[in-house]
Structure 1
Amino acid sequence: MSQLKELQDENRRLKKMYADAQLSAELLKEAMAKQW
C-alpha cells in the first residue's frame, strides 16, 4: 500500500515539474516576442 502512495507522490511531483516547465516556456516565448 505504501508503494502506491510513493508512486502517487512521485507522479504529483513530476506533474508539478512539468507545469513549472510549461510556465517557464510560456514566459520565455512572451519575452522573446516582446524583443522583436
Structure 2
Amino acid sequence: MLNTGKDVAAVLQALEISEATYHRWRAKYGGMKAEEAKRLKQLEDENQRLKEIVADQQLDIKMLKHLAEGSW
C-alpha cells in the first residue's frame, strides 16, 4: 500500500492498526523478507515449546528428589 503512494497514516487507518503497533513491527521485522519473518516466528514458537519441556523436566526432577527423601 505504501508503494502505491499512500501515506503511512492512511495505510494504518485502512489496516486498522495503531501507529505504535506499526513502529513496533518495523523495529522487529523492518528489513526482513516474508520468509525470514515466518522463520523467526517458527523459531520463537519452537523456543517457547522447548522452554516448557525443560520446565516440566525440572518439576519432575524436584518431585523425584522429594520422593527419594521420603519426606512425603
Looking at both structures, which has the greater relative contact order when contacts are Cα pairs under 8 Å and sequence separation is at least 6? 2
Fold match by TM threshold 0.5: yes
TM-score normalised per structure 1? 0.92
- What does residue 51 of structure 2 align with? 15
The runs of 4+ residues in structure 1 deviating greater than 2 Å are: none
Can you give the 5+ residue segments of structure 2 that lack an aligned partner in the other structure? 1-36
Tell me which protein shows more helix as a share of its residues: 1
Q: Which amino acid aligns with 2:56?
A: D
TM-score normalised per structure 2? 0.47
Aligned residues with identical type, % of pairs = 43
- What does residue 31 of structure 1 align with? 67
Query: SS at the partner of 1:11?
Result: helix
Can you give the 5+ residue segments of structure 1 that lack an aligned partner in the other structure? none
Cα-Cα RMSD:
1.1
